[in-house]
Chain A
Amino acid sequence: MKHFDAKLHVKGKSVFTADIPVPEGTLYAAVFVSPCAHGNILELDTAKALASPGVVRVVTAEQIPGENEIGNIVMDEPLLAENTVHFTGEPVAVVLAETRLQAYNAVKLISMTVQELHPVTDPREAARLGDFIVPPRTFSCGDTKKAFDECSYVVEGTAESGGQEHLYLETQSTLCVPQEGGALHITSSTQSPSYVQKIAARVLGIPIHLIQVDVLRLGGAFGGKEDQATPWAVMAALGSHLTGRPVKLVLTRHEDLVNTGKRHPYSYDYKIGLDSQGKILAWKVDYYQNSGAVSDLSTAILERSLFHSTGSYFIPNVVATGYCCRTNLAPNTAFRGFGGPQAMFVMEAAIHKAAMETGIPVETIQRINLLKPGNTFPYGMEYTANEARSSWKLAERFAKTDQKRSAIIEFNSSSRYMKKGISMMPVCFGISFTTTFLNQASALVHVYTDGSVGISTGAVEMGQGVNSRIRQVVSEVFSIPVEQTRVESTNTSRTANTSPTAASSAADMNGNAALAACREIKGRLLKTAAAELGCAQDKLNLRNSSVWNGTTRTDLTWNQLVTKAYMSRTDLSSHAHYATPGIYFDKTTEKGKPFAYHVAGTAVTEVTVDCLLGTYRIDRVSIVHHGGKQLNSLLDRGQVEGALLQGIGWVTMEQLDWNTENGRLLADSLATYKVPDINFAPDVDIVFAEGEVLPDGVGLKGSKAIGEPPFMYGIGAWFAIASAMKSYRPDISFDYVAPMTPERLLMTLTAGNKS
């Protein structure tokens, strides 16, 4: 089975938002943003911009007809700044002009006088000031106080992980076209069509039903278009609403880098307690999340950090506390893993440091503490699978880790500067939105009179292949060729109140909704067939584009059946809804069963470090991934390979720094923000192992979600590099800061050296 969209991609025929031919009279929008990170707006002068050639209107906050509020969880984010600005790149005014160049030229003519205030870029500073987006939250179990007293080893430390730019290749884009009666049709590159719809209605002060949001596909998203697509879409909608003309708004790469939020940088304090054998008895961790200037999804992301505070390990006594620290950065946001990678990085850092201090091998501490069936997470859910342990064992065998470790020791002993390193990275990731109500989806399926099938769901195709999976399962229900199916654009008028395509769960939920709709239609069709063939319906089935009676193929083909059903006035359309069963969470006790299931696997990473020049290569990553019953191996492989490299990028070369004086992003172009390229990409071997069997109605036909979990395999790269560094310099001490850039590597290796 293929990624069907790719047939268009390879020919350049797939249509992205910016590719849509614009209607006559379209205006182009360019956004004037705050040049400073924090301050009071004293004066905003748009007169020159308004008078410049081609400019039709300059929209500022006071022209907003509804609420100037685009917050989703916490209401703290204006669409356009009023009175104060809180981050560099915060939208202040929208210029609408006849051409794109005219709009951008006019933006340069806007002047804003700001009384600058001190910008906060460090979450610890925000914490000291007590500036939290919501009050801190704590997940706990057991009695850490008592447990630490009983430990043979207690190791404390700090760690940091950096932010990460999504670098979806397609920048944020919108085309809004006014319809009759004040309605608007918005094409937006969003993962959350319903958010765009809801927020646009709120800002314009009109009912939601006047706004139709349509998404054909995204050129990558990775979480960066979950909430962060909304402001740009709403600005275009506002422009259309005020001028009555179509408005196109496409961010330049520079604007996209500076003005939109990223993965949250975290700073950590931790304390880990072990018995003499390396069994972890107690774990205390504080997450200082750099949330940025407004809430965005920060609270939910912090929540997932808390859920994953113990990584793939069972720890009986835990206190994990999270702080959403308000800073003057662009609103940090969802990014593949959604707080999980941060929690797992610090967990691994603590284990690594404990290994360094106790002399117990790091992989021993990892292995003996892996989750077992029957273990309970700090949030009260029981772990039922054995996948954490089985994937570890399989990975050791698959990657021949024993042999490799000996070979590395031999290589390193005969090489002065080139050192090899290896690490193992177990991942256990919970599947479901941790916000329980979001775990619902719907689908609308039409069977047309020629037997072709059109499917609409709430899932957004952004390269992950969700539409291919849905076509696959639909064609299986009807037993027709996949070519006879088509997944339509995601459209709020066909599927309403959709959850964002996020949390790895879009295929599970929307696929199940589509299945339910198809089964409904199939039932009606078989009823028609039973009447037509004069036999019992329960013996009939669809197979190979025909109706079968038991094991006998009847003369009734799929196409004939559909025609007959239509002629006998049967409804050939169905809408169905899916809600993930069995999940709940009580925030007052911080206990419950928030996840439908967990995905687990283990990665073995091998690297070579040049300890003279401070550079490294990631040689190979071998992965055992428990993915349930595989539905589409090509897509699964692509998700693992792609997520892995993003994860490796996060802990190696992808570095976001902000000027602490003025809060400005330093890596504001692709010349300064580097992501892995083809030369950096390691060889990757993957074994997909089925693992636990999911109950009916959970997962898509027994397959497990795959979007996010493999990202965290990439964390292993940091620790593999560390192991090579330690081989070069046995007395090394690590500060546990990601990313491990060549600079950090060389400075760590040479710290305290004279030469």
Chain B
Amino acid sequence: MISFLCNNSETTVDCAEGLPVLDWIRSQPHLPGTKEGCREGDCGACTVVVGRPGAHGVEYSAVCSCLLPMGEINGCHLVTIEGLTTGDELTPFQQSFYSEGASQCGFCTPGMIMSLTGNLLGTERPSSSTAMESLDGNICRCTGYVAVKRAVDNVMNRFSLKSGQRIESLIEDGHIPPYFSTVEERLKQLPSVTTPNTDSIAVAGGTDIYVRSSEKLSGKNPEFLTRRDDLKFIRKSNGTVEIGAAVTLKQLRESQMLAEILPGLKDFLLKVSSTQIRSRATVGGNIVNASPIADMAVILLALDAAVAVSERSIPLHRFYLGYKKLDMSSGEILTAVSFPVPDSGSVLSSLKVSKREFLDIASVNSSMLFTVEKGVLGSVRLSAGGVAPVPLLLEKTGAFLSGKTISEETINTACAIAVDEIAPISDIRGSSEYKTQLLKAQIRAHITRGPNR
């Protein structure tokens, strides 16, 4: 049983917890405004906003309903495009999209409106730029986005939020209907229902497993790791940063502490999936997914991270045994990842090149943690994805670079050593020759351009 607020209605549903929310929305309450475009979290047509009771009231974020299991909205407020208005009125975004011609065929439009509304509800300081960012997971094939940008700017240029009264302020401006002010209380009144997890499948953010196995999961009751509060922390103690496995990439971006330690991370994470996916995808999921181009794994390798599995602490570069093979047995759960706080003065440079700069999978991504003083490199740790069966720590290249004076020769030699350390394959992300060339270019860029350029 799953109990939640669907727009303005208390709803209890008896269905498998693994059923994608998209399937339920379109069939049961027949709310067809939420569209199915791809079922892989890549187009955003199915975007909904989910509000979850949290420490600071109801915390809202935009997510792809195709990758969202019903079990994850238990006790939550599910908002679809139909829930943004109660009558014929238009919200400011809806009005602006209409006035500016930002909607042509209309299939992607509800998803865009939901992303933008999710941004107002769930971003600390919504602005024109956060609004544009919030559309990084919405594909439109008709407009060329020019009218979309005009429409968003029109609204955001005159947008302001009364501090401390977000919901009231948004209601007053017509972005959300008045019933939103009752949501927090009504969520508390929802009957507490549970479904025993009868299937031995653990799902974290689900943003990959639901792309591959949506049909299989739709009849199951998996274990939701996101419900485990013991996996949701970001903390620093004794010179070590520890991140719980169920922390989402969105939470990583929002962490003030991480922003201080790793100043470029917040911006770089924009290149990792999209707003909707970052709201769900977890750090632990990205690591155990074991993709050879896992963005988080590559960053963490450079940071000399270790993972906690059961009672063991395993250096991340030893955790990957081969293609999609981990030092972890079935039934075990990765609970946290930790890394030493980099020395002050050290720089984390992360690069990612893909066909499309945003919301794409890397051809090659790499990270370098290093210090540099008067043209001399201190200790260097270099990692790369897309160049081996696993996210790779380039130990020899890093060791070579450590202590070297930056010069054309240093860079060329480092590149030559790196080429010996890697074994890229030719696939849809590029030929092995390209990946080799790209890694060499990235090494040069890390050294000559500094962090995150």
Contact = CB atoms under 8 A, between A and B. Distances in A.
A11 B144 contact: no
A742 B90 CA distance: 41
A741 B38 CA distance: 23
A219 B361 CA distance: 27
Interface residues of A, number: 78
B434 A746 contact: yes
A693 interface: no
A747 B434 contact: yes
B101 A253 contact: no
B240 to A, nearest CB: 33
B144 A168 contact: no
Contacts of B139: 167, 169, 670, 675, 677
Contact of B441 (A222, A612, A671): A612
A3 interface: yes
Given A10-B103, A169-B43, A220-B107, A742 B355 contact: yes
A11 B35 contact: no
Q: Residue among B90, B132, B441, B445 with the most chain A CB within 10 A? A: B441
A464 B356 CA distance: 26
Given A10-B97, A21-B30, A613 B445 contact: yes
A217 B141 CA distance: 16
Given A169-B35, A462-B105, A10 B90 contact: yes
Contact of A13 (B33, B211, B444): B33
B113 interface: yes
Contact of B351 (A6, A13, A613, A634): A613
A220 B142 contact: yes
A678 B135 contact: yes
Interface stretch (B77-85, B153-161, B310-318, B389-397): B77-85
Given A11-B94, A19-B32, A676-B356, A614 B37 contact: no
Contacts of A638: 101, 104, 142-143, 147
B136 interface: yes
A8 B110 CA distance: 10
A169 B360 CA distance: 18
B134 to A, nearest CB: 10
Contacts of A634: 100-101
Nearest to B134: A678
B34 A12 contact: yes
B108 A169 contact: yes
Interface string B287-312: 00000000000000000000000000
Interface stretch (A125-133, A294-302, A433-441, A642-650): A642-650
B: interface residue count bin: 35 or more
Interface stretch (B332-340, B377-385, B425-433): B425-433
Contacts of A566: none
Interface in B95-122: 95, 97-110, 113
Interface stretch (A87-95, A236-244, A679-687): A679-687
A167 B142 CA distance: 10
B328 interface: no
A612 B444 contact: yes
B141 A220 contact: yes
Contact of A170 (B107, B144, B434): B107
Q: Residue among B98, B440, B442 with the most chain A CB within 10 A? A: B98
Given A6-B106, A12-B110, A742-B355, A641 B146 contact: yes
Contacts of A19: 26, 32
A671 B361 contact: yes
B105 A220 contact: yes
A476 interface: no
B437 A612 contact: no
B283 to A, nearest CB: 20
A666 interface: yes
A6 B143 contact: no
Contacts of B101: 2-3, 6, 634-635, 637-638
A677 B106 contact: no
A101 interface: yes
A641 B358 contact: no
Nearest to A648: B144
A615 B434 CA distance: 13
B149 interface: yes
A463 B105 contact: yes
Q: Residue among A104, A253, A670 with the most chain B CB within 10 A? A: A670
B433 A747 contact: yes
A105 B438 CA distance: 42
A674 B434 contact: no
B45 interface: yes
Given A10-B98, A742-B353, A646 B146 contact: no
A5 interface: yes
A395 to B, nearest CB: 18
B39 interface: yes
Q: Residue among B34, B360, B428 with the most chain A CB within 10 A? A: B428
Interface string A603-623: 000000000111101000000
Nearest to A252: B39
B6 to A, nearest CB: 14
A429 B98 CA distance: 30
Contacts of A743: 355, 363, 430-431, 434
B93 to A, nearest CB: 8
B446 to A, nearest CB: 11
A219 B438 contact: no
A9 interface: yes
A660 interface: no
Interface string A19-52: 1010000000000000000000000000000000
A669 interface: yes
B215 interface: yes
B145 interface: yes
A222 B140 CA distance: 13
B441 to A, nearest CB: 5
Contacts of A536: none
Nearest to B357: A679
A408 interface: no
Closest 7 CB pairs of A and B: A12-B33, A463-B105, A9-B106, A219-B107, A12-B81, A645-B144, A670-B42
Given A645-B144, A646-B141, A750-B437, 5 more contacts: A9-B97, A11-B85, A169-B141, A671-B42, A755-B412
20 contacts: A3-B101, A9-B110, A10-B94, A10-B95, A11-B84, A12-B33, A19-B26, A169-B107, A169-B140, A219-B35, A220-B105, A253-B37, A463-B105, A667-B428, A670-B38, A677-B359, A679-B358, A680-B356, A743-B355, A746-B441
